[in-house]
């Protein structure tokens, strides 16, 4: 189930992640990356980070995607050679809630619905071009349901947020 998109203002949000370039489909890479970041955060004394995230930096589907895979955190952390410390900028975001399994095409369809809604409503995304490649300033999938705690995949929720101009 995909909810209706809406616009909202958000505060900046720090996160810790692994920055990686992956081919599509990349689902099989995610859990090991989340496990690694989660272990690193525990080593830093952060035992209950926020939701798991995927921050999309580039989205050219014909190439590898540049993404950050990690967790929202309450405070800024200092990364290392493997872990990046990032911040989602404060600003106006389009948001869309998806309910259902994280496997399959549900999240993909949520992204398609968001793009169609933006086109129909004249919403412009906050992006910039670097070396001929479009980079997103704030495009994130928030995995709100921990699959280790909730076994009913029909109850899983993920939120897509994309920064607007």
User: May I ask the CATH class of domain 6-163?
Assistant: alpha beta
- Burial of residue 15, with CB atoms counted within 10 A of its CB: 0-12 exposed, 13-18 middle, 19 or more buried: buried
| Per-residue model confidence as pLDDT tens digits over 26-55 | 889 999 999 999 999 999 999 888 999 999
- Domain ranges for the chain, please list them: 6-163
pLDDT for 47 equals: 85
Q: Has residue 10 got a pLDDT over 90?
A: yes
What is the reported pTM?
0.94
pLDDT for 48 equals: 84
pLDDT for 163 equals: 98
Two structure tokens written together for 86:
């990032």
CA dist., res. 109 & res. 6, Å (int): 17
């Amino acid at each position: 189930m995909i909810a209706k998109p809406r616009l909202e203002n958000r505060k900046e949000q720090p996160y810790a992640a692994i920055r990686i370039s992956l081919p599509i489909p990349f689902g099989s890479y995610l859990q090991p990356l989340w496990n690694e970041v989660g272990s690193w955060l525990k080593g830093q004394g952060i035992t209950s980070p926020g939701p798991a995230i995927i921050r999309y930096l580039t989205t050219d589907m014909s190439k590898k995607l540049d993404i950050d895979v990690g967790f929202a955190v309450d405070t800024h952390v200092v990364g290392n050679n493997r872990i990046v410390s990032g911040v989602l900028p404060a600003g106006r975001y389009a948001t869309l809630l998806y309910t259902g399994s994280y496997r399959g095409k549900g999240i993909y369809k949520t992204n398609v619905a968001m793009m169609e809604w933006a086109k129909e409503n004249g919403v412009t995304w906050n992006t910039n071009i670097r070396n001929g490649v479009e980079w997103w300033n704030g495009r994130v999938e928030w995995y709100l349901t921990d699959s280790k705690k909730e076994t009913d995949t029909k109850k899983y929720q993920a939120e897509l947020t994309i920064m607007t101009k």
